[in-house]
Chain A
Amino acid sequence: MNELDYEQAVSSLYEGLYRFAFSLAGTADDAAELTQETFARLLVKGGQLRDHSKVKSWLFTTLYRIYLGWKRRETSLPHYEIAAVESELPPVTPEMADKLESEAVSESLLEIEERYRVPLALFYFESLSYAEIAEMLDIPIGTLMSRLSRGKELMRKSLAAKSIGADRKIISIDPSRQKQSPHHE
């Protein structure tokens, strides 16, 4: 891979890769490290990529595999279901609600079990074809569709849970609810 190809790959793909990495790792630092590691591998192994049209799916697959490698090395990953920690959540203040507005959606995504979260993140963040996503996850397209559907369902439940409460700001993502709610401009 020459300098120009690398620069083009970075320019056109790094944002999507970073967001996908964030959806996997859940922190900005880890997401940046995953993205860097992925592009470092492109520099080292990019010469073996004969079909440059596959750079995108190669990068996403590589990032996902690096992440899986990290997971294997970790003894445990903290993972909490919403229900398990709901009783521990502090009351939502207006300041927190403002923050919730901007972060609730990504939080909801991160709360979802990984096998549903990965297809969902790829659905929202990147434009890989479903054939490419299925190949990357090594699952049939039918399974991918089912996981995507389940992931969306879980995410919407999580978002709904976040918007419950009289003093909590409703997340205006549902157009029909947006019209009815006096909380929204």
Chain B
Amino acid sequence: MNNQEAKLILQAYRPNGQDASDPFFAEALEQARRDPDLKKWFEEETMLNGRIQGRLQAAVPVPPGLKLELLALRKTVRLAPWWLQPTKLAAVALVLVSLGTILLLMPQRTTQLASFRDTMARSSLQKQGHVEFESHDIASIQQWLQSQNMQTNFDLPATLQARAGTAQGCRVVDWKDHEATMICFIVNGEHMDLFVMDRAGLPDFPENSAPQFARADGLMTAMWTGDGKVYLLTGQNEAALEKIL
């Protein structure tokens, strides 16, 4: 290795010493130790790099609030939907295939799902008494639901969570021996109702299932499960629902 080659390597040697143990620099460093001219050049180069580095760090101040904003992302960024996670997707695909087989053999279960879907769609279309409690404040809605002995430990889809202020109110909808929570939203002018029911009411609907779209009473519905709950979202069309999901 001649000095020119050694310089090309040593110019990449960082002033904070982090490259000291990198074998990539070993031979060039050794040469700098032996050759006085190269050593002098290397010392000056390192000093200059250190000064430029100091200037650059001072010249690009990090905004003081940035760290808090980054930490706050945990509250606003939702984890990837499980249906975008390959391992879970594969597991769900397996479940769906199994379910498909079961459904073929047991049409009775399909009827249960259809019944739930139809009831919720009719509730969504109901104009009189559409909501029992009117509020744009999701916390107030939760409080009211709790006062009705309804569970509120469910997750809103991320888009609805981000636009919680578009909530219009809520009510409790009866279906067979079970009760479902309905929260009404108007998102970008689109009326949507989210229904949440304990999955015990529809035990045959697979856990952690992907949204299944189906029409009911002229509305489009998307139905899925997660964390022991059955979710059903109503809207005018599939595209509107996909924006939310």
Interface residues of A (CB under 8 A from B): 3, 6-7, 10-11, 14-15, 18-19, 22-23, 28, 32, 35-36, 39-40, 43-45, 47-48, 102-106, 109, 123-125, 127, 129-130, 141, 144-146, 148-149, 152, 155, 171-176
Contact = CB atoms under 8 A, between A and B. Distances in A.
Given A130-B22, A175-B44, 13 more contacts: A10-B71, A14-B67, A15-B62, A43-B73, A45-B80, A47-B80, A102-B59, A145-B12, A152-B11, A171-B55, A172-B51, A173-B51, A173-B55
Q: Top 6 nearest A-B pairs by Cβ distance? A: A106-B59, A105-B55, A173-B51, A43-B77, A10-B70, A40-B77
B74 A18 contact: no
Contacts of B102: none
Given A45-B80, A123-B12, A130-B22, A109 B71 contact: no
B63 A103 contact: no
Contacts, number: 107
Interface size classification for chain B: 35 or more
A14 to B, nearest CB: 6
B57 interface: yes
A164 B44 CA distance: 22
A162 B131 CA distance: 68
A129 B14 CA distance: 10
Interface string B44-58: 100111011101111
A145 B63 contact: no
Contacts of B74: 3, 6, 43
Nearest to A31: B60
A141 B12 CA distance: 11
24 contacts: A3-B74, A10-B71, A14-B70, A15-B62, A32-B63, A32-B69, A35-B70, A39-B73, A47-B79, A104-B59, A105-B52, A105-B55, A105-B56, A106-B56, A124-B49, A125-B56, A145-B9, A145-B12, A149-B11, A149-B12, A173-B48, A174-B51, A175-B44, A175-B51
Contacts of A173: 48, 51-52, 55
A144 B9 CA distance: 10
A18 B55 contact: no
A175 B67 contact: no
Contacts of B67: 10-11, 14
B18 interface: yes
B126 interface: no
B212 interface: no
Contact of A22 (B58, B60, B85): B60
Contacts of A104: 55, 59
Contacts of A19: 56-57, 60, 62
A103 B59 contact: yes
A32 B63 CA distance: 8
Contacts of B8: 145-146, 149
B16 interface: yes
B175 interface: no
Contacts of A6: 74
A44 B79 CA distance: 5
B24 interface: yes
A148 B62 contact: no
